[in-house]
Amino acid sequence: MLIDAQILQKFDLNTLVTFLVVYQERGVSKAAKRLNVTQPAVSNVLGKLRWRFDDPLFIPCGRSVRPTSKADLIAQKLAPAMIILQGLITADTMHNAASAPPP
């Protein structure tokens, strides 16, 4: 299966990391803290994703947020892919460290 590189190059994949952290934390401020960015930065990313997916994605509920059904669907499909990517990156990092010559 071939990927459409043009679509992926036009889309900031880091926004999907932000999305997943907000989804997991159920809060913008908590996500910002975990990502080590400001709350307005997370809100800005969510605004872009809302436009891209044509959905509010998260509904404010007091001090937390509740994902929409579309956000649930995105997270269900996205989380396994991100876990695979994380594993690939981590394995490559460990391999590079193991194969590096001693100091």
The string of pLDDT tens digits covering residues 27-55 is: 999 999 999 999 999 999 999 999 999 99
User: Which residues are within 8 A (CB) of 53 and not within 5 positions of it... i.e. 6 or more apart?
Assistant: 70, 74
Q: How far apart are CA 15 and CA 42, in angstroms?
A: 9
| Residue 78 burial (CB count, 10 A) | 16
> How many domains is the chain partitioned into structurally?
1
Asked if residue 102 belongs to a domain, the reply is no
Query: What one-letter code names the amino acid at 11?
Result: F
35: CATH: 1.10.10.10
User: Which residues are within 8 A (CB) of 4 and not within 5 positions of it... i.e. 6 or more apart?
Assistant: none
Name the CA dihedral angle for 76, 58, 52, 87, rounded to a multiple of 10 degrees. -40
Question: Residue 73 sits in which domain range?
Answer: 7-95
**18-27, 68-77, 85-94: lowest mean pLDDT where?**
85-94
Q: How far apart are CA 78 and CA 16, in angstroms?
A: 8
Average pLDDT over residues 79-102: 78
The answer, yes or no, to whether residue 92 has pLDDT greater than 90, is no
Asked if residue 28 belongs to a domain, the reply is yes
pLDDT band at 91 (very low <50, low <70, confident <90, very high): confident
Residue 57 · residue 67 · CB < 8 Å? yes
The answer, yes or no, to whether residue 17 has pLDDT greater than 90, is yes
